[in-house]
Amino acid sequence: MMRKLLITLLLTFAFVSGSIAQLERKPANESQEVDLIFHAPRSINLFTVEPVDEKTLHFAIMHTFGTLDGGIQNLFGLDNGANIQFSFEYGFNDRFSLGMSRQSRDKMYNLYGRYHLLKQTQNDKMPLSVSLMGAAGVNSSNYQFLNEANPNFMERTSYAFQLMAARRFSDKISLQVSPMMAYFTDPNPIFLIEGDQNLYLALGFSGKFKITGKSSITLQYIPNLNSDLRSNLGVGIDLEAGGHVFQMYFVTSQALNDQYLLAAGNGVPGEEFRLGFNVNRVFATGKRR
Amino acid sequence: MRHFINLLFVLIFCSTNVFGQEFLTEDGSVVFLSKAPMNEFEGKSNKLQGLVDLNKNLLDFYIDLNTLKTGIGLRDRHMRENYLETNKFPYAEFTGKIAEGPELKQGESRNVTAKGKFKIHGVEREIEVPGKIRKLNDSFLELEAEFKVLLGDYKIDIPKVMFYELSEEQTVTIKAKLKKK
């Protein structure tokens, strides 16, 4: 009995101490975050949950042109003048960034911030990425010809707020739902908006369907919840080229600013689509290795 | 009964301390250098896991590629998603043997060549890695090695539309301090 036990123990021991031929492969981080739910901090016109990394600057130029219905005569809307928005967004850390944008239409300046609350992980412990965006803007157009009716600074302000909840469902498919609101202190008819309400509520949907390693089909749909304005619809393609992300799309609105996106109205999908084009670029600042 | 147990402990004690020559690390460093004509950058990780067995002249190293950082977050994401495909192939691994040599005394070092299998991006190849082993003292061993990896050998495509010019040849440097098990 004793002897048997001892032999067993010795054998076990021989096995255990008989050196391990290979280490067990273990992931360094069990809750590895999911990468690139979207290609860039913007998808068509909407913000995404994609962060701007610490100490990097994200620069985006967005354009939308005239409606397609003029045909080749107007080079499918390119002759009709573009609305252009520049934006710079700086990442203070991996969760918080501040940005500024300027839309040519109504010379809108916007200050905005994004905060990333939750990040989707590969093991699905966290199934969603959730971010918040808040923006405050001012219309800086010259309305001096209106004399007394020239709106003052406060009357020119507007605000936007949205919550973005996104999930990368598979290697190919990512979806985002963004409840959004915009508030105009004074929706003056002289502003280039269609709505006359102060408050606009909408639900933004963004989709990404990856077709190759570095390109995706994108979708955007923004039904208005409390106005009679048409809903925004967009279809596009994202192309990744190293540090740039190019986004080309057809969309029903010329608005690029977040408040204007909800209040400026939309054309009928189809002939009144407009061509749009964004360039996204990141710059690393601080110490380079 | 007592005797047997005591004997057993003595045996365990002896074999691990006198004969055991296994050294381990969990925080070795790996650096890769991509040296293209217009753009040079490095990626780093301090999560190299390693085992060196001086009895069996055996080496085993691996790294979770998700821990590699190049200093630009977006470049890291593109590296993981488009080139290394860490979703599918999370590790780079090397398992090999070194030629037998005289036992190292404290402070002594020896140049060695490890022959074995290197695996990354799902492709496994036989490679030879020259390196240096130094015995710091009874319980610590230091290892340094440098080798080149051709991305094409491992089916890692270099982007055609490039922004970060990526070199086909990557120089990998490994440095680790291993502790006796």
Please give, rounded to a whole number of angstroms, the shortest distance from the CA of A112 to a CA of chain B. Answer: 21
Using CB atoms, which residue from A2, A22, A35 is nearest to B77?
Answer: A35
Residue to test with chain A: of B19, B34, B74, most A Cβ within 10 A: B74
When divided into structural domains, chain A yields a total of: 1
Q: 């689509």: which residue's tokens?
A: A273
**Could you tell me if residue A239 is inside a domain?**
yes
Model pLDDT, residue A9: 62
In this structure, is residue A246 part of a structural domain?
yes
Instruction: Characterize the bridge pairing of strands A157-168 and A129-139.
Output: antiparallel
- Please report whether residue A139 resides in a domain: yes
Per-residue exposure over B1-20, b if at least 16 CB sit within 10 Å of its own CB, e if not: eeeeeeeeeeeeeeeeeeeb
CATH of the domain at A67: 2.40.160.40
**Chain B residues closer than 8 Å to A245 by CB:** none
- The CATH number of whichever domain residue B96 belongs to comes to 2.40.128.110
Structure-block tokens of residue A242: 């190293």
What is the pTM (predicted TM-score) of this model? Answer: 0.80
For residue B82, pLDDT over 90 is answered with: no
Mean pLDDT by 10 residues, chain A (289 residues): 64 53 83 90 94 91 88 79 93 94 95 96 93 96 86 94 96 95 93 91 95 91 91 93 87 93 87 90 69
User: What is residue B17's predicted lDDT score, i.e. its pLDDT?
Assistant: 45
Report CB contact under 8 Å: A122, B90: no
- Band of residue B2 on the pLDDT scale cut at 50, 70, 90: low
Contacts of B72 in chain A (CB under 8 A): 53, 56, 282, 284
- Look-up: residue for tokens 């896991």? B49
Q: Which residues of A touch B49 (CB under 8 A)?
A: 23, 26
Q: Does residue A183 lie in a domain region?
A: yes
Q: Does any domain span residue A4?
A: no
Mean pLDDT of B49-73: 89
Query: If contacts are CB pairs under 8 Å, which of residues 28-87 in chain B contact chain A?
Result: 41-42, 44, 47, 49-51, 53, 55-56, 58, 60, 62, 64, 66-67, 70-75, 77-78, 80-82, 87
**Residue B18: band (very low, low, confident or very high) from pLDDT cuts 50, 70, 90:** very low
Q: Which domain holds residue B40?
A: 21-180
Containing domain of residue A212, as a range? 33-284
Q: Which of A46, A244, A4 is nearest to A163 (CA)?
A: A46
The number of domains in chain B is 1
Identify the burial level of B137 via C-beta atoms within 10 angstroms of its C-beta, where 0-12 means exposed, 13-18 middle and 19 or more buried.
Answer: exposed
